Structure 1
Amino acid sequence: MAIECSDAGGGTGGAGGTGGHQAPAAASASDASPPAGLVPLLALACGSSVATVYFAQPLLVTLGERFAVGSGLLGVIVTVTQLGYAVGLLTLVPLGDLLDRRRLVTGQLGLLALALLAAGLAPGVAALLGALAVVGLLAVVAQTMVAAAAALTPPARRGRAVGTVTGGIVTGILLARAAAGVLADLAGWRAVYLASADVTAVLALLLRRVLPLGAPSAGVREASYGRLVASTVTLFARHPLLRIRGALALLVFAAFSTLWSGVAQPLSGPPWSLSHTAIGAFGLAGAAGAVAAGVAGRWNDRGLAQRTTGVGLALLALSWLPIALTRQSLWALAIGAVLLDFAVQAVHVTNQTLIHAVRPDAGSRIIGGYMVFYSAGSSLGALGSSLAYATAGWPAVTVLGASFSLAALLLWATTRRRGLPGDHPAVEPDVN
């Protein structure tokens, strides 16, 4: 099977208020609206898929006890899922530029349902970690659906579409923690994965009925799959904007994972000793993140990408002040979670809107490559949080999260006038 990318390149207009030039590829995007109800259904499916990566977070203490995993290594349970996710981003998401999107999306969802079933029935720690790695590998279908939503939406409304789908992802992440906590208290941790397998299978059937057939991108013709995957690296090497936004994603999601992979330990022990349900419910405190996704999408359509990024990163750094008071006040944790999730999702939507516009004809590869940075940051935060907590308790965790956040703010401040849309060089063929 072979493909070849055309020489079409280009930038993006309106990002960051810079007035960059519109990419030729973007101009060729379809002006037709997607079928009614498709974007909300994609948002629901994205949220359900990404939720599978986060189910373990409120269950870490229980899983550690059930499978004899020490507190300093609890982050491994999250990390193997994220590593699987990273592999899927590089190997599966690029297929969105090559294969029919309906078959690709529904096929991956079906396999994801089987992987979730295997996790729910895992007899030992090796089987659990293996199943969770495959869950992460297949959960990248969410990024294929983000790219599909962007491709099916006219450029003038693409930011809102990406914001809606990403809002579904945020909601899925939040509900993942709450639902996992409730189900674990009612029927045990295995019920979390078994129920998710059922939901995923149903969504696969629904999308098979309503998702339009989608041929490969207009600029993609002939070359090997291996060269298509390799072209993802070429794209990031060629465009400064992709590298900068990828690095921001790594730091932002390292901070995000530091909180949500570590918070179960202080909440499950004295003085709070909360149940799975209560721990999971704290994820709902970040519901503002779903609001941020929609707001950020509209701001991006108005050309305010850089302002959105700066405000988001400043809020991210400030969020660690109330989070540091978690052992003294659950209200402080709730306030910090609201600020953190709002900030993370505002930056995330901005990143995805900007990078897709760099090369719309390579949208799946670009989003897949970008999300590798996200996955690396999430893995780093999960491992770092567990080790920090085992070494010096919650204060060390908050210092780690604040450090990631301040590093992201510094990176943005020093690069905000570099790698803006329209600044990248003329594009040569990235796949021959």
Structure 2
Amino acid sequence: MDLSQPKLTPKILWLMAISSGLVVANNYYNQPLLGLMAKDFNVSESKISGITMFTQIGYACGLFFLIPLGDMFRRKKIILIDFIFIIGSLLAMAVSPSIELLFPISFIIGFTSVIPQLFIPMAATLAAPEDKPKAVGFVMSGLLIGILGSRVLSGYIGDILGWREMFYIAAILMGVVYLLIYFNLPEIYPNFKGNYKKLMLSLVELFKTDSSLRSAALRGGLSFASLSAFWTPLVFHLEENFHLSDGSASNIAGKFGLVGAFGALAAALMGKVISKFNKNTILVFTALLILLSWIIFYYGGYSYLGLTIGIILIDIGVQSTQITNQSIIFSNHPEAGNRVNTIYMTSYFIGGSLGTFISAYAFEIYNWTGVISVGSFFAIIMLIFHLLSIKR
């Protein structure tokens, strides 16, 4: 570790974990609110689901074009500038007069809300070698709690106040986080020498030369595609098959996010114990766990108990896969943490947007059975690919 860099203190680690959770939440506020938005603009379920897809595509693009800059410029400066655009896009979402404007605004929200992916390699860089998995797991826990909490909060706010008010509240939260980072986050200096073109070309070289990075990227993308296939149509599933109103469905879909807290706990635990087990064995287990969740969704997806058990299993499976993948790629390339994370997370959110897109149309045509088919497909492909990669 570079001695000129600050040490990773508990205060800094907590700041990165909390900030990661609050920033990443911007990408997920829309999911429980889709029913309310569809009613407000009088559009179909598949069309309004495009908001979630554009947010995920924006996040993938932000990962690819912005995050590598963390190896080239001072990270705190990048983060503070980015916050200005986050706040502006959230306010634009709140006042948008038409559905057509919501799509590009959602893209910008996703594009700018990538700050947690600067914090994760930062934690790995500043931590002592033996503490890297633990530090990454801790920041990831904050990020995951933010994802889950965002669904709970937006479902509740949407039911009580309306969907626009949620984005006003999000903008205020981002203002508070900006001040916390401005006064407390230390500066992290870059280690890459060269221009932006050379920086981006190095991504290609890393991807071409590291088979473990390619494998991790594909596993991550397929696992998140499976998870997104569940969460995006959930509110419509509750409306149509549980006979709930728009507001009640949004509220309950949000509360299901609390159930997913088991995934955040799994991430923290995995960060502590991952070095004690074979990573290939862990990844076989997590893939089977994701597939098992879809079997439960098939047989129990029309009851609250079945949905609850399935959510617990799919979140534990996906988040444990995430921590294991990131432990592998950061260990192989400590000098290029932001760039390998860019490759991995870009694939991750491309997979998420694909899962969202296909699942939305599958639900419209085949209802819940279509969603089960899509989610199971991604889980099976992930398991087969990983078993073949082990054999190779």
Instruction: Please state which band the TM-score falls in when normalised by the shorter chain.
Output: over 0.9
Query: Which residue of the partner structure matches residue 362 of structure 1?
Result: 336
Whole-angstrom distance in 2 between the partners of 1:132 and 1:173: 16
In structure 1, what residue type is equivalent to 2:320?
Answer: A
Query: Which residue of the partner structure matches residue 7 of structure 1?
Result: none
Q: Are the structure 2 counterparts of residues 258 and 30 from structure 1 closer, same or farther at C-alpha, using a change threshold of 3 Å?
A: farther
Whole-angstrom distance in 2 between the partners of 1:417 and 1:145: 34
Q: Are the structure 2 counterparts of residues 64 and 114 from structure 1 closer, same or farther at C-alpha, using a change threshold of 3 Å?
A: same
Measured after TM superposition, the shift of residue 29 of structure 1 is 8.0
Cα displacement string for residues 4-24 of structure 1 (whole angstroms, at most 9, x for unaligned residues) = xxxxxxxxxxxxxxxxxxxxx
Percent identity between matched residues is 31
Whole-angstrom distance in 2 between the partners of 1:330 and 1:51: 24
Cα displacement string for residues 81-106 of structure 1 (whole angstroms, at most 9, x for unaligned residues) = 11111111111000110111111122
Match of 1:212, SS state, is: coil
In structure 2, what residue type is equivalent to 1:267?
Answer: L
Match of 2:64, SS state, is: helix
Counterparts of 1:14-93 in structure 2, within 5 Å, are 33-93=7-67
Query: Which residue of the partner structure matches residue 257 of structure 1?
Result: 228
Q: TM-score, normalised by structure 2?
A: 0.95
In structure 2, what residue type is equivalent to 1:163?
Answer: G
Q: Which runs of 5 or more structure 1 residues have no equivalent in the other structure?
A: 1-26, 419-432
In structure 2, what residue type is equivalent to 1:116?
Answer: L
**Residue in structure 2 matching 1:122, options 96, 104, 114:** 96
In structure 2, what residue type is equivalent to 1:239?
Answer: D
Of residues 285-294 and 300-309 in structure 1, the stretch that sits farther from structure 2 once superposed is 300-309
Query: Which residue of the partner structure matches residue 423 of structure 1?
Result: none
Measured after TM superposition, the shift of residue 304 of structure 1 is 3.4
Measured after TM superposition, the shift of residue 417 of structure 1 is 5.3
CA contact under 8 A between 1:85 and 1:137: conserved in structure 2?
Answer: yes
Whole-angstrom distance in 1 between the partners of 2:101 and 2:143: 27
Whole-angstrom distance in 2 between the partners of 1:320 and 1:29: 48
Q: TM-score, normalised by structure 1?
A: 0.87
Whole-angstrom distance in 1 between the partners of 2:30 and 2:328: 31
Query: Which residue of the partner structure matches residue 245 of structure 1?
Result: 216
**Residue in structure 2 matching 1:267, options 227, 238, 244:** 238
Q: Are the structure 2 counterparts of residues 178 and 159 from structure 1 closer, same or farther at C-alpha, using a change threshold of 3 Å?
A: same
CA contact under 8 A between 2:35 and 2:250: conserved in structure 1?
Answer: no
In structure 1, what residue type is equivalent to 2:225?
Answer: A
Measured after TM superposition, the shift of residue 110 of structure 1 is 2.9
Higher helix share: 2
Measured after TM superposition, the shift of residue 112 of structure 1 is 0.9
CA contact under 8 A between 1:309 and 1:350: conserved in structure 2?
Answer: yes
Cα displacement string for residues 293-318 of structure 1 (whole angstroms, at most 9, x for unaligned residues) = 01111222335322221211111110
CA contact under 8 A between 2:6 and 2:186: conserved in structure 1?
Answer: no
Q: Which has the higher contact order (CA 8 A, sep 6+)?
A: 1
Q: Which runs of 5 or more structure 2 residues have no equivalent in the other structure?
A: none
Measured after TM superposition, the shift of residue 270 of structure 1 is 3.9
| Count of matched residue positions in the alignment of Structure 1 and Structure 2 | 389
**Residue in structure 1 matching 2:324, options 350, 357, 360:** 350
**Residue in structure 2 matching 1:180, options 151, 154, 177:** 154
Q: Are the structure 2 counterparts of residues 152 and 28 from structure 1 closer, same or farther at C-alpha, using a change threshold of 3 Å?
A: closer
Whole-angstrom distance in 2 between the partners of 1:172 and 1:202: 15
CA contact under 8 A between 1:356 and 1:363: conserved in structure 2?
Answer: yes
Match of 1:99, SS state, is: coil
In structure 1, what residue type is equivalent to 2:368?
Answer: W
